[in-house]
Amino acid sequence: MLPRRGLLAAPFLLGTTGGARAATDLLGRPVRPPPAPPRRVVLGDGFLLIALSLLHPDPVSLLAGWATNLQTLDVDLHAAYRRRFPALDAVPAIGGTAGSSISAERMLAVAPDLVLFSAWQASSTENQALLRALEEAGVPVAFVDFFLRPLDNTAPSLRLLGDWLGVRDQAEAFIRVHATRLDAIRQTMAGAPPGPSVLLQAHAGRWPCCWSVGSGGVGEYLGLLGGRNIGMGAFPGPAGGTLNLEFVIAADPEVYVATGTPRAGAAGGISVGPGVAPERAAAELARVTHAPGLDTLSAVRNGRVHALWNYFSDGPLGIVALQAMAHWLRPDLFPRMEAGDSLAEINRRFAAMPFEGAFWAN
């Protein structure tokens, strides 16, 4: 849900079909798979550790290096991974999220046999130069996507990772769980009338009001649920942007969804995510939504205010966020909150490091 820079305009293609090894990645780039399951993986986006930890029992054992954005943006998630996998402290940090913070020499120095990036990283000039250097050195490179087009690209991204990392059965099992829940929502929404107007505000209380999604990313979830995303009026494309408070008050959304991180409360935001107590998340949501201006909204007056962990959008756990929003936006069609059941099943069947804490709040 955190906005990204350098979003791609190109369409995405499926990474694999059937049981064959991936011939293209999620950008449709021809790629050369590693000859055997890699054991020296470099993550150009640190949040890809979330996906790896749902597919491999010891994802840290695969890492030769990783970008530092997860450990800087979600300190508590990083701490949880460190407690579960102390060897993470020994994994070399290769910089931020590629681009100007990483040289090709620095990345090649850790001798990777596979480099993984997120699709949102692809378009910057620095990243393109880094990509060329890695490919010229013969290092397999692949892009996956859980952020830009989560509805279409989560399953093929998991399939590519399962295929390349030698954990195909685990990947296919997670894909079935994901597909079952997504199909149920799609079937319920088929023919449904439009839903309520909604504002999804990233990092509420920490950033000036109000960063809103467009049609891409989490905006796809709002579209699937028939939510009338007020950000679409100002940002008709896939990327979002900042709405001023006057615009938000005039739009008067019927449902308000904020995002936060575990330590956001100390900076005026909403603490939600790994290790957070439900009571704290709920109290900070109430504080943020009763700020001058927001307190006039129909959503606030009618108690239709909610919060989500911001980094649901950076991995396969996005299906849990979709289920939560389905209940909040369309309680007539989704009367039961199923997100908790899904997260519990994911923790039980897939998570090498269980996701524990208040990941949403009302």
202-222 average pLDDT score: 93
Instruction: Give yes or no on whether 41-166 and 197-361 have one common fold.
Output: yes
Query: Is the Cβ–Cβ distance between 186 and 326 less than 8 Å?
Result: no
pLDDT at 98 over 70: no
Q: By percentage, how much of the chain surpasses pLDDT 70?
A: 93
Query: Is the Cβ–Cβ distance between 290 and 217 less than 8 Å?
Result: no
pLDDT at 22 over 70: no
pLDDT at 36 over 90: no
Which one-letter DSSP state was computed for residue 142?
E
pLDDT at 114 over 70: yes
94-113 average pLDDT score: 82
Residues 6+ apart with CB under 8 A from 51: 144, 146, 157, 158, 161, 315, 316
Q: How high is the pLDDT of residue 100?
A: 60
CA–CA separation, 185 and 97 (whole Å): 33
CA–CA separation, 80 and 201 (whole Å): 26
pLDDT at 361 over 60: yes
Identify the band that residue 19 occupies on the pLDDT scale cut at 50, 70 and 90.
very low
Using one digit for the tens of pLDDT, what is the confidence trace for 278-336? 999 999 999 999 999 999 999 999 999 999 999 999 999 999 999 999 999 999 999 99
Least confident of 82-91, 119-128, 200-209, 277-286: 119-128
Q: How high is the pLDDT of residue 152?
A: 96
Pinpoint the alpha helices (H) of 146-261. Answer: 150-165, 168-189, 219-224, 231-234, 245-251
Q: How high is the pLDDT of residue 15?
A: 37
Q: How high is the pLDDT of residue 13?
A: 36
pLDDT at 50 over 90: yes
Cα angle 82-66-321, degrees, rounded to a multiple of 5: 70
Q: How high is the pLDDT of residue 5?
A: 38
220-234 average pLDDT score: 93
Using one digit for the tens of pLDDT, what is the confidence trace for 171-181? 999 999 999 99
125-140 average pLDDT score: 88
Encoded tokens for 252: 């008067």
Least confident of 7-16, 32-41, 56-65: 7-16
85-90 average pLDDT score: 98
Identify the band that residue 7 occupies on the pLDDT scale cut at 50, 70 and 90.
very low
Q: How high is the pLDDT of residue 126?
A: 77
Question: What are the residue boundaries of the structural domains of the chain, listed by start?
Answer: 41-166, 197-361
CA–CA separation, 324 and 53 (whole Å): 22
pLDDT at 272 over 60: yes
Mean pLDDT across the chain, nearest whole number?
Answer: 91
Residues 6+ apart with CB under 8 A from 117: 44, 45, 98, 127, 131, 141, 142, 143, 144
Query: Is the Cβ–Cβ distance between 20 and 156 less than 8 Å?
Result: no
- The CATH superfamily holding the domain 41-166 is Nitrogenase molybdenum iron protein domain (3.40.50.1980)
Q: What is the CATH number of domain 197-361?
A: 3.40.50.1980
